[in-house]
Every structure is written in C-alpha cells, then in structure tokens.
Structure 1
Amino acid sequence: MNSILNKNLFFVKEHVGMFKAANNYDIYNPDTQEMIMTCRENNLGFFTKLLRFTDYKRMTPFCVEIRTEAGEKVLTVKRGIAFFVSTVEVFDENDALVGRFKQRFFSIGGKFNLFDANDNMLCALKGKWTSWDFKFIKDEVEFAHVSKKWAGLGKEMFTTADNYMLQIDERVPSGSPIRLMILAAVMCIDMVLKE
C-alpha cells in the first residue's frame, strides 16, 4: 500500500464542466494546498458516455484510477452496470482485490457496507439525506468523516460546492487496508449516491 494513504486529511476537488461524461477529481493535502493524487476515469466507452447525459447516469459502469502526482497507481475502483444497488470492487496498486462495498437497498441518505476481500465487514458508510455529510462507522466507532464543511486551512483556497474533505481518524493504523477502502468509497459517493 502506498504510504500516501497514511495521511489523515484529504481534500477532494471534482472537475466540473457542462458536457463532462468522465468522473475526474484532484486530491490535495489541505495543510500545504498541493495536489498529491489524481482520480481519473480514462477509458469511457461510447455508449457509457451517451448514457452519462441521461437519467440512467447512476446506472452506468465506471472504472477510476487514483494515482500519485508522480504517476504511481494507488488504487482502482470498478463497478459494472447497476440496476437498483451498486456493488463496487476496490483493487490495490498491483490490481489485487482488496475489498468491495455494497449499497444497502432502500437506505435513506445513502449507505454502503465495506467488506474486505473475504467478505468480512469492515465498517458502514452512513450519510444524511439532506447534506453532504458521511461517516464510516463500526460498533459506534467512527473511522472517518466526509463533509463539504471544513474550517481548516483549505477553506480559503477551496470554496465551491463540488469539493469535500475526508478526515480519517488517527486511531486507524498506518498501512491498514481500511484506509484504501475508505478513500475508494469517498470517490464513489458522488458517482453512486449523488449523481
């Protein structure tokens, strides 16, 4: 696992555009305000591009890669066509399956369960229906929090609605695969729940 995932704060900025089909994000270190990773969806098929401009957008497949600024692959997130709920697979830098997360059926506000490669539950992602506020929780312990509200140093630099902050709790051990799963899930909240 890339050591960049041992950070506890990540600022995610979505690329916005009027006619954009691909899901692209830049990930910053909010303390230094420098870009540390990119998240790109490079290989979109023709029909997927077409469907991204319709009401079927949330059902389209995706494959995004997160890379460091130097171009090293950190992880890959893939989903096939989703009719009612999503199951998303997460792969490490060597394309080995790390885990998956599954959307809960009829969840208000959005909810995923995160599983490791052996289908052991790691934690749940729970969100509020009315806002962009999500928490990664297991047994009442919060592993991470995602929000559009941030009072830190990055507030002055990043102020648009398509940006959000991921804060991983310091109790999550360095090198833990759950860090990789949390970052992957954050990249998909927008694509699966919010589109």
Structure 2
Amino acid sequence: MTDLTRYPELVIKQQIEQMEIFTPFETANRYGVYTAGGTQLMHAYEESGGISRQFAGSRRALSIHVVEGDGAPVLHASRDFFWFRSHLRVDAGGRRIGALNRVFGLGRKLALVDSNEREITRLTSGLFRPHTFIANNAGGGEVARVTKQWSGFGREMFTDADTFVVQFTDGSADNDFRLLMLASAFAIDLDFFENQS
C-alpha cells in the first residue's frame, strides 16, 4: 500500500465525463490522485446505481474504491443513502480506520472519527473561504487542509469535474490520518460540490 507519509500534498483531479457535458445525466465519479509534482499515485472510482445517481443525486448510496496503478486496493469508502447527514465509512488494509460524518449546523463541516467513532478533528470551511476546509488539532493548530481549486471557466461551467488539494501541515500525521484526509476530499466533493455546475 502507498505510504502517504512521504507526501506533504496530494492533488485529487476528478475526471471529465463527456456524457455529463452534453446531457443532464450524472455518471459515476472517477478521480486521479497525484503528487504535487504531477506524478499519479492512485486512481479512484465510484460504484453506485445509475438510477440512484439520477434521482438521489448527492444523497445516494455509494462506494469509492482507491487503487494503485497495478490495481492493488488502497482504501474503500462507503455510505448509505441519507436525508440530512452523510456518514462515509473508511476502510484500508481490510480494517476500519474511521469515518467522516457531516456535522449539522451553520457552515460546511465534517467530523473525522477513528475506528471507535471518537472524533479526531473537524474539517471546517469558513464563511469567507467556502472552498477551504481546515483540520485543527486539540490545541487549535492546523494539521491539514483540503482546498477546492478553481479549474477554469469552461471546466467549472460545463462539468462537475473538480480539483482538490490535500495539504498536510503537520508532518507527523500518520498514514491512517492521511488516508482519512484523502477520503475527506471525496466526501467534500460529494456532499458540498456535487451537482452544482
């Protein structure tokens, strides 16, 4: 499995689906996961029902599979259909490493919890920076952030293919935390930016 502790930054690029440009139909999401220098480390793909993508939209039940170039699994994230708050379970190496829970309230917030459902941190987006989600430690210091990047007028206007950057500002963060942060980029895309084009 890829050791993410070697990378201070990951870039997640959602693949453009040609069908979505010309039709109102939502297709399964696909992503590339890259280093800051542009080397592809992994790719991710969504598994969900075609009917649920059309009618349940961003609330649909789904699974996200992240695999290395040779197809070796890195992480599996899944959730059930929901009405108000999503709960994305995250597994790696055949074990539960945690989950991402959408927090009810003002603003955009996700709670990162460990395998025992204890909160590790929250990703919070500020009122004046709605595309930046910051994770702080117990003392209030930043440990990581996820930022939705501007992809250009054409891409933003005609597709829902987004680019996210995950930055680890605390170099001591372990691999499980980094995998949860990688999964948080998918959760942020699905919960807050899906179907907004």
TM-score (norm. length: structure 2)? 0.81
What secondary structure, in the 3-state scheme, does the structure 1 residue paired with 2:53 have? helix
Deviates more, 1:160-169 or 1:9-18: 160-169
Instruction: Please give the root-mean-square deviation of Cα atoms over the aligned residues, in Å.
Output: 2.1
Distance 2:104 2:180 in 1: 20
Q: TM-score, normalised by structure 1?
A: 0.82
Figure out how many residues of one structure are paired with residues of the other and give that number. Answer: 179
Check the 8 A contact 1:5/1:180 in 2, yes or no. no
Per the alignment, residue 154 of structure 1 pairs with none
* Aligned residue in 2 for 1:59: 59
Unaligned runs of at least 5 residues, structure 2: 157-161
Written as runs of structure 1 = structure 2, the 5 A alignment for 1:130-169 is 131-139=130-138, 140-149=140-149, 161=156, 162-169=162-169
Instruction: Determine the C-alpha separation between the residues in 1 that align with 2:111 and 2:170.
Output: 21
| Partner residue, 1:75 | 75
1:29 is aligned to: 35
Equivalent position amino acid for 1:113 in 2: A
Measure how far apart 1:149 and its partner are.
5.0
What is the percent sequence identity of the aligned residues? 22
Runs of 4+ in 1 over 4 A off after TM superposition: 158-161
Partner of 1:180: 179
3-state DSSP class of the match of 2:104?
coil
The whole-number CA distance in structure 2 between the counterparts of 1:2 and 1:137 is 25
Secondary structure (helix, strand or coil) at the match of 1:131 reads: strand
Q: How do 1:89-108 and structure 2 match up within 5 A?
A: 89-94=89-94, 96-108=95-107
Q: Which runs of 5+ in 1 are unaligned?
A: 151-157
| Counterpart in the other structure of 2:43 | 38
Kindly provide the amino acid, as one letter, of the partner of residue 125 in structure 1.
Answer: L
| Contact kept? 1:127, 1:133, Cα under 8 Å | yes
Give the drift of 1:114: 0.8
